[in-house]
Amino acid sequence: MMSEYSHQNLAGRHILLGVSGGIAAYKAAELVRGLKKGGAEVRVVMTRAASEFVTPMTLQALSGNPVRQALFDPAHEAAMGHIELARWAELVLVAPASAGFMARLAAGMADDLLATLCLATEAPIMLAPAMNRQMWQAQATQENAATLRRREVQLVGPAEGEQACGESGPGRMLEPLQLLDVCNTHFAAGPLAGVRLTVTAGPTREALDPVRYISNHSSGRMGFAIAAAAAAMGARVRLVVGPVSLPTPAGVERIDVESAEQMLKAVLADPGQIFIACAAVADYRPREVAEEKIKKQAPQLSVALQRTPDILATVAALENRPFTVGFAAETEQLERHARAKLEAKGLDMIAANWVGERAGDGGFNSENNALELYWPGGGESLPSGDKMTLARTLMRRVVERYKKTNGADKSHAED
pLDDT in tens, 200-217: 999 999 999 999 999 988
Is 3.20.20.100 the CATH number for 10-188? no
Do the beta carbons of residue 215 and residue 204 sit within 8 Å? Answer: yes
**Where on the phi/psi map is residue 346: left (φ > 0), alpha (ψ -120 to 50), or beta?**
left
**Separation between Cα atoms, residue 211 and residue 98, nearest integer Å:** 58
pLDDT of residue 120: 87
Main-chain phi, psi angles of 172, to 5 degrees: -75, 135
pLDDT at residue 303 greater than cutoff 70: yes
Confidence of residue 415 (pLDDT cuts 50, 70, 90): very low
Q: Where are the domains of the chain?
A: 10-188, 196-406
Do the beta carbons of residue 313 and residue 331 sit within 8 Å? Answer: no
pLDDT of residue 5: 40
Q: Distance of CA 54 to CAs 114, 147, 173, Å?
A: 16, 29, 16
pLDDT of residue 44: 95
Q: Examine domains 10-188 and 196-406 and report if their fold is the same.
A: yes
Main-chain phi, psi angles of 193, to 5 degrees: -55, 125
Confidence of residue 166 (pLDDT cuts 50, 70, 90): low
pLDDT of residue 200: 98
**Separation between Cα atoms, residue 168 and residue 235, nearest integer Å:** 42
CA angle 291, 293, 296 (to 5 degrees): 140
Work out the average pLDDT over 142-156.
90
Do the beta carbons of residue 34 and residue 59 sit within 8 Å? Answer: no
What are the tens digits of pLDDT across the range 20-54?
Answer: 988 899 999 999 999 998 888 999 999 999 988 99
- Catalogue the active-site residues: 165
pLDDT of residue 248: 84
pLDDT at residue 245 greater than cutoff 80: yes
What are the tens digits of pLDDT across the range 284-296?
Answer: 999 999 898 988 8
Those residues whose C-beta lies under 8 Å from the C-beta of residue 65, and which sit 6 or more positions away, are: 42, 43, 44
Chain-wide mean pLDDT for the chain?
86
Share of the chain above pLDDT 90, in %: 51
Those residues whose C-beta lies under 8 Å from the C-beta of residue 88, and which sit 6 or more positions away, are: 14, 16, 43, 250
Q: Pick the residue with more confidence: 48 or 71?
A: 48
pLDDT at residue 2 greater than cutoff 50: no
Q: For the chain, what is the radius of gyration of the CA atoms?
A: 25
Work out the average pLDDT over 67-86.
66
Q: What is the architecture of the domain spanning 196-406?
A: 3-Layer(aba) Sandwich (3.40)
